[in-house]
Amino acid sequence: MVHSNPSQLTSYDRLTMRVSRLVNNAQGVLDKHVHVERREATREDWELLLEAIGETEGVIIAHRDDGSIDLFWKVSYDDF
């Protein structure tokens, strides 16, 4: 496995890695739900992320009043 130098990662890369860690941690996998805060993400990165997630089949985005989101998904065993 090749590891990128963190200083070479874009801000969008860092955002998607953070969301990926949330989704793939044990609790996220069990719950099929994660809460994601925008934190230091730029508006452009955040909107790009929301667009990418929105195009993902089986994922529901719930927008919260504070600007954060909740992601919900279900696993389709037909894909296996």
Residue-wise pLDDT tens digits, 39-65: 999 999 999 999 999 999 999 999 999
The total number of structural domains that make up the chain? 1
Please check whether residue 61 lies inside any domain of the structure: yes
Side chain identity, residue 47 = E
pLDDT for 17 beyond 60:
yes
The tokens describing 73, both together, are 């998904």
Angle at 35 between CA 66 and CA 77, to 5 degrees: 140
Give the whole-angstrom CA distance, residue 51 versus residue 46.
Answer: 9
The residue assigned the tokens 């909740």 is 70
**Which pTM was predicted?**
0.82
Q: Alpha-carbon torsion 27, 23, 32, 45, what sign?
A: positive
Whether residue 1 lies inside any domain: the answer is: no
CATH number for 66: 3.30.1370
